[in-house]
Structure 1
Amino acid sequence: MKTKKRKAPLIPKTVTSLRKARAITSSFHKLTSKAEEAKARGDVKGLKAARTELEALGGRQAYQEASIVTTSRSRHTSKWVFSKLTSLGMRPARGKQPLELLEVGAVNTQLLSVPWLAVRAIDLKSCHPRIEEKNFFDLRPEYNYGAVVCSMVINCVPSPEARGRMLKLLHQHVCPGGLVFLTLPLRCLTHSKNITWEQFAKVIESVGFVIESSKASPKVAFFCLQKPKTGEEARRPPPSARGPPEGILCGKGPARATSTFGVTLRDEAELPATHGR
């Protein structure tokens, strides 16, 4: 009788409740933003307090464990990626070469398990043998991926300039005609004192992407970006793709400005080495 081979476990979980996992990820993003704001204004005491709260929360380890729980229960991102690749005719036919895909900030093996995808999954701190422990900013762009998935990562990058650099690098990693699937907390665009949904869309276009589509769940913003094929002029995305989904309020008023998320585009020569998620 054959014994079933056990799957390699993700990092040991102390977080099992979905409700608790969501609370941890939400608190982590808020405290990270709080620390960033304190650092920007030179508030040493405030920065120390934010870092102490992050340590009490469990730090990046707790955040990663919570992310594993939330993504394994919902699968929203992977389902969205599968659906888009299929509807846009990018899913390879049976017997054809798998589509090359780079997953940045991987916390599970959902994409790695798909037979028609050739996935390179990376994260700063690997939680699985199949996920490579690698800093995205250390990867040399080769313009060869048919798709790149960057889910809930850009918001963990510590500065507006580094986030701009991340967008530029994502553009360089994907091949002409390829897609980038980008997600971030919705509050980064609805409650930021620095950027709105419309402004974020303009930054994306400035990098060279076309917004193929966008949508929002109660807590997450989803952007499907396409790099125009060589020689093809970047077409203007439809208003529904550039603007926030119906019912999503964006603004910088005092009542809504509780996030410091922002993105700044600068020349690569001006940017120091960066470490994100």
Structure 2
Amino acid sequence: MTSTKSKKKRKPTSSLLSRRKNGHLPPSSSSTTTTNPPLPSKLSRTLIRSHHTTQKRLSQAIQQNDTTTIAELTSKLSSSGGLEAYQRASVSGQSSKRGGDSSKILVDWFIELGIPKPTHKKSHSGKNSNSNGDNNNNNSSSSDGSDEGLSNYRLLEIGCLSPTNTIHSYFPKPQRTLMDLNSLHPDEILKQDFMKFPVPQLADDGYDIISCSLVLNYVPTPSGRGDMLKHITSFMEQALERRRKRLKSLSNNSTNKETTETDWSSTFPAMFLVLPAPCVTNSRYLTEDRLQEIMISMGYEMVRRKLSPKLVYYLWKFVGNGSRKKFKKTELLPGGKRNNFAIIVE
């Protein structure tokens, strides 16, 4: 009688997990990027950290004109999936199973502040000018929006990965412009480097709130981060003009004498800023106090703040008249286990 050994059934392994060596992702096309299941959280974190570290080293090599290191790091980024792999990891982090997108916090704050959703989903012209949500609605700032919610308010979202973020319910098309360096949804999100995106020539085409969620920390240099904040502030200065036009229109046309600056509309113009918590809680060069100094000097006031174990969220109201103070990279909290995240304003 012959005995046969029973073969143990081999458990199926994920194709993603089977290719985790060196933190590399399997290649994927943009058409499948958004349909893949979320990556394991540990892998997502590893990919994001590795990408940030490599980008930082590449930026340093470029500054030093180290062509050998530049070629080496560029090859490393390419072989590991580059920006697309980073985006896939970021999208996985935004999945509903892991708490969803950061704009849910902004929506919670809107509710706290009594900011109503718009009562209609079309601009006064009733037309959408292009697929990414931008428009040329010359009547967009004709009123304060108190009777129509945020119908006449416009959102600019930098580094947008999804066209269905929670905050979009407050800014239906065409009252929003979504952009990212590598758009995962070309029909709805503009492929655009924000630093090359000009302030609109007309205030009517400007924005009332800018969302900058987990974007500032992606900028590889401290001075580049300062430049991004200054560029955002250029949009905010135009947004103040939009606000003045609303107030003037309100005083000329409204019979409601009780409408005052304490209305929810006084929250705008505003910026929603999200950073990894260690950027301000465990950095040698940036603390929350220093960040607030920088923002105040640019003309902002903090409206809301939330600190979680991983992220820190801010809502900044722009009031203008900042001192435009310069900030250098100065050690504030010494320590061997701290990171080097910094913001330089020149």
TM normalised by structure 2 equals 0.61
Instruction: From 248, 251, 254, give the equivalent of 2:335.
Output: 254
Compute the displacement of 1:92 (Å).
3.7
**Which of 102, 106, 127 is residue 156 of structure 2 equivalent to?**
102
Compared CA separation, residues 227 and 194, structure 1 to 2 (3 A): same
- The corresponding residue for 1:201 is 292
Residues 211 and 220 (structure 1 numbering): CA distance in 2 closer, same or farther, change over 3 Å? same
Separation in structure 1 between the aligned mates of residue 32 and residue 116 of structure 2, nearest angstrom: 28
Note the 1:111-130 alignment, pairs <5 A: 111=165, 114-117=168-171, 118-128=175-185, 129-130=187-188
Deviation at 1:52, TM superposition (A): 4.6
Instruction: Report the Cα offset of residue 160 of structure 1.
Output: 1.9
The residue aligned with 2:95 is 72
Task: Find the partner of 2:52 among 9, 17, 29.
Answer: 29
8 Å CA contact retained: 1:150, 1:181: yes
- Larger relative contact order (CA 8 Å, sep ≥ 6): 1
* Structure 2 residue matching 1:145: 3-state secondary structure: coil
Match of 1:214 in 2: 305
Amino acid corresponding to residue 52 of structure 2 in structure 1: H
Match for residue 137 of structure 1 among 195, 201, 209: 195
Q: For residues 107 and 138 of structure 1, do their structure 2 counterparts lie closer, same or farther at Cα, with a shift above 3 Å needed?
A: same
Cα distance between partner residues in 2 of 1:42 and 1:198: 35
User: Between Structure 1 and Structure 2, which shows a larger proportion of strand residues?
Assistant: 1
Which structure has the greater CA radius of gyration?
2
**Equivalent-residue separation in structure 2 for 1:137 and 1:45 (angstroms):** 28
Q: 1:162-177 residue pairs with structure 2 within 5 A?
A: 162-174=224-236, 175-176=239-240, 177=268
Q: Following the alignment from structure 1 to structure 2, what is the Cα–Cα distance between the partners of residues 22 and 13?
A: 20
Q: 2:217 aligns with which of 155, 174, 183?
A: 155
1:193 and 1:44 map into 2 onto residues whose CA distance is: 29
Q: Which blocks of at least 5 consecutive residues in structure 2 are unaligned?
A: 1-29, 121-147, 241-267, 323-330
SS in 2 for 1:183: strand
Change (3 A) 1:162 1:208: same
Secondary structure in structure 2 of the residue aligned to 1:32: helix
Q: What amino acid is the match of 2:232?
A: L
Q: Deviations for 1:213-239, whole angstroms, at most 9, x for unmatched residues?
A: 2222222121211112x7xx78xxxxx
Report which stretch shifted further, 24-33 or 162-171. Answer: 24-33
Q: Separation in 2 of the partners of 1:78 and 1:59?
A: 25
Residues 10, 108 of structure 1: 8 Å contact kept: no
Percent of aligned pairs sharing the same letter: 23
| Alpha-carbon distance, 1:42 to partner | 6.4
For residues 237-261 of structure 1, the C-alpha deviation after alignment (integer angstroms, 9 at most, x for no partner) is: xxxxxxxxxxxxx9632323333x2
Aligned pair in 2 of structure 1 residues 219, 30: CA closer, same or farther (>3 Å)? farther
1:40 Cα shift?
A: 5.2
| Change in 2 beyond 3 A, CA 1:116/1:254 | closer
Deviates more, 1:98-107 or 1:40-49: 40-49
Q: 1:146 to 1:88 in 2, by over 3 A?
A: farther
Aligned amino acid, residue 85 of structure 2: A
Distance of 1:147 and 1:18 partners within structure 2: 33
For residues 91-112 of structure 1, the C-alpha deviation after alignment (integer angstroms, 9 at most, x for no partner) is 3452422531110011111238
The SS at the match of 2:168 is coil
1:38 CA drift (Å): 5.0
Give the alignment's TM-score, normalised by structure 1.
0.74
